[in-house]
Every structure is written in structure tokens, then in C-alpha cells.
Amino acid sequence: GAVVSQHPSWVICKSGTSVKIECRSLDFQATTMFWYRQFPKQSLMLMATSNEGSKATYEQGVEKDKFLINHASLTLSTLTVTSAHPEDSSFYICSARGRAQETQYFGPGTRLLVL
Amino acid sequence: GQQVMQIPQYQHVQEGEDFTTYCNSSTTLSNIQWYKQRPGGHPVFLIQLVKSGEVKKQKRLTFQFGEAKKNSSLHITATQTTDVGTYFCAGPGDGGSNYKLTFGKGTLLTVNP
């Protein structure tokens, strides 16, 4: 149980375009989803916390207008990187927790390369 | 804000040797979690420790939570090549939130066969 999927797994885009990443909890209802960014050989940095039906809470230094998060249902959250630039190239990972869970279950991640 | 420090950053061992990574928090933790991330993969939950002084074992992995609940360790006995990866500890975030996690920088373990 506790499977989280992410789509796409890889994306290459041109600078200035927007990219949408989906995160789905497949076998449980995710009351909270988290979006992380991980640069090569670095730790996971939390970008934002997303609760179903409410606005996401962004960490300090993360531009909410650039990284749009929507958590429209208990099984789906999306992260849209707007007007992507090469410095946005990174590994984006979502995680989800259910109502009765303290642990987070991670999706397989999305590697974004902005040219 | 809360900081979770992890050492060493890298560890290279010969297969069969033991390995330990240490995690220290600037604040008392209600719990600590450990994750493993294989090269090119995503973090996978290993275990959660909650009680002061708690010790848990998973086959060759031994996890400890300090008495003061500010430090933790992961020890692997007789490493195998399948143990390769980055091991992260994580504690609940600031502001009383039990749901956000603050991750340590991780320890990258490489094993020479």
C-alpha cells in the first residue's frame, strides 16, 4: 500500500514555457501533499505543503507565482513551473500522507531540464 | 529555525564492513524518520522512531533514537552492494507541525565489492 505516482518522469522544455507535474496517491487519500526540489548531490528541500481544498503553504524563498500548486482532490496534486528557466532544472519530488499517517510516501520524482 | 545535521556526508566501505550515519537536531524531536534514496531514485521510507532511547532493527540495519530525542543513528552491519544509496534522516518541521519534515543533508554510502 501507500503508492504515490508522479507524471511525467522526465521533461525537457524550452526556456519560457510552463511545465505541469502531477502527483497522485494511488491507494490512499492524501490529505496533505508536499513538493520538494532536489539538486544533484543535495538534500531534499521542501518547496510547499498542499492540503486538499485549500491554498498551498510555500516555504520561505519559494515564489508562489512561479510554482503554482493545486490540490483539487484527495488523490491529486499538481505543480506547475511557470515560465521555466534553466536554473529551474532539477529533480522535483512529491510526497503524500494520509489522515492517519505521520510518514510521507514519496513519488518517483520528475526530472526537469530547461534548455 | 530547526536544523537537522547529518554526518558523514560520504562514506565508502568495502563490502562486508560496517557503516554508521549520525543525525543531530538543534531541537528535541517528537519523532525521527529515516529514508533511503538509491542513485537516480526517490526516497523510500525505512523507519520511524518515537520513543526516547528506542532501538529498532531491520535485518542488518539498526536504528537508534537518543535519550534526549535530539540525535539518532543508523548502523548497517556487514554492508552489501545493495546498500548503496543516500540515507537521510528527517524530523518534524518547525512551528509545531507534525507533518512537514526537515531533512538532513544525507550520507552517501558507496560499497566496493
Tell me the C-alpha distance between B75 and A30, whole Å. Answer: 32
Query: Does the structure show a pLDDT above 90 at A41?
Result: no
The answer to whether the beta carbons of residues B106 and B88 sit under 8 Å apart is yes
Write out chain B residues lying below 8 Å of A95, CB-based: 43
User: Cβ of B103 and A43 within 8 Å?
Assistant: yes
In this prediction, residue A19 has a pLDDT band, given cuts at 50, 70 and 90, of very high
Section B59-71 average pLDDT: 97
Grid cell listed for A55: 491554498
Question: CB of B85 within 8 Å of any CB in chain A?
Answer: no
The percentage of chain B sitting over the pLDDT mark of 70, rounded to a whole number, equals: 93
Query: Does the structure show a pLDDT above 80 at B2?
Result: no
Section B59-77 average pLDDT: 97
**Mean pLDDT over the full length of chain A:** 91
- CB neighbours of residue B96 within 10 Å: 8
pLDDT of residue B85: 97
pLDDT of residue A23: 96
